[in-house]
Amino acid sequence: NAGVMQNPRHLVRRRGQEARLRCSPMKGHSHVYWYRQLPEEGLKFMVYLQKENIIDESGMPKERFSAEFPKEGPSILRIQQVVRGDSAAYFCASSPTNGLAEAFFGQGTRLTVV
- List interacting residues with another protein (CB under 8 A): 4, 6, 31, 33, 35, 41-45, 48, 50, 55-56, 91, 93, 95, 99-100, 102-108, 110
Residues 12, 109: contact at Cβ < 8 Å?
no
Q: Which residue number, 93 or 113, has a Cβ lying nearer to another protein?
A: 93
Residue placing its CB nearer to another protein in the complex, 49 or 79:
49
Q: Is the dihedral of CA 97, 102, 104, 109 positive or negative?
A: positive
Nearest CA-CA partner of 75 in 36, 38, 113, 20: 20
Minimum CB distance to another protein smaller for 41 or for 72: 41
Q: How far is the CB of 78 from another protein (least distance, A)?
A: 20
Other C-beta atoms within 10 Å of 1: how many? Answer: 5
Give, in order, the Cα–Cα distances in Å from 21 to each of 64, 80, 97, 104.
14, 11, 23, 17
CB of 23 to another protein, least distance (A): 11
State in angstroms the smallest separation of the CB of 25 from another protein: 13
